[in-house]
Amino acid sequence: MISYLFSFTFFAILACITPGPTNIISFSTGMRVGLRHSLPFIIGAGLTASLILFLTFFGVAKILGHSPFIRDGMTIAGALWLSWMALQLFRLEKTDVQSLETMPGWTQGCALQLINPKTWMMALSVSSLFFMPDFEQLTNAITLSVIFFMIAVPCMLLWAYMGVLIKKQTRSLSQEGMIYKLLSLLLFATVWGLLYSQFV
């Protein structure tokens, strides 16, 4: 059991710390408004990702696995929505940089994970790699979901903190605007890279 949980913990760290749509948005939010105001987005994203992971142990994975139309539709819709977010970040006005009204919050964090291709790919992998028929299903699902949440939130906070550090190094609004444009392009490339890997 210890080795099982260790393996999952290592898997979760790799899944949460590597670049992806959620981490890129956490970075940009941390850069714009700091750690404290990034928390609603991060907590929302962490809770929803953990809920998705939990649900995959109770049939969601099978539904998606046997319904390519639903799975592919969710993936494409997610890619389009994230692309729209990338466009908003690219077009971010100087007056909106530190505006709490224009930054992602709790609702956006929750919604993002529901249509984030990386989150669903991770959850489907977990449901197949870490399914234990000789272990109580509910206990297993709760345990892994809680562990994932406890790992996901610090990882997103780390990305947000890196955004804070980069913000301190920028010397002008034009430099800052260039960073947001680079982040938006990275977000766009990440999303469509995930989409390409799923369909090819």
Q: What is the pLDDT of residues 32-57, one digit of tens each?
A: 888 988 899 999 999 999 998 888 87
pLDDT band at 125 (very low <50, low <70, confident <90, very high): confident
For residue 159, the surrounding DSSP H or E stretch is helix 137-169
Q: Average pLDDT, stretch 9-29? A: 89
Predicted TM-score (pTM) of this structure = 0.80
> Tokens for 122?
């991770």
**Per-domain residue ranges for the chain?**
2-12+22-86+99-199
Distance between CA atoms of residues 108 and 106, nearest Å: 6
Render pLDDT for 183-195 as a digit per residue (tens, 0 to 9).
Answer: 888 888 887 877 7
Of 155 and 101, the one with more pLDDT: 155
CB-based contacts of 43, cutoff 8 Å, min separation 6 = 106, 109, 153
Q: Average pLDDT, stretch 117-145? A: 77
Q: Is the dihedral of CA 22, 27, 29, 34 positive or negative?
A: positive
Which DSSP letter does residue 56 get? I
The predicted structure's pLDDT at residue 154 = 96
Q: Which residue has the tokens 């139309």?
A: 69
Render pLDDT for 140-179 as a digit per residue (tens, 0 to 9).
Answer: 888 889 999 999 999 999 999 999 998 888 776 677 778 8
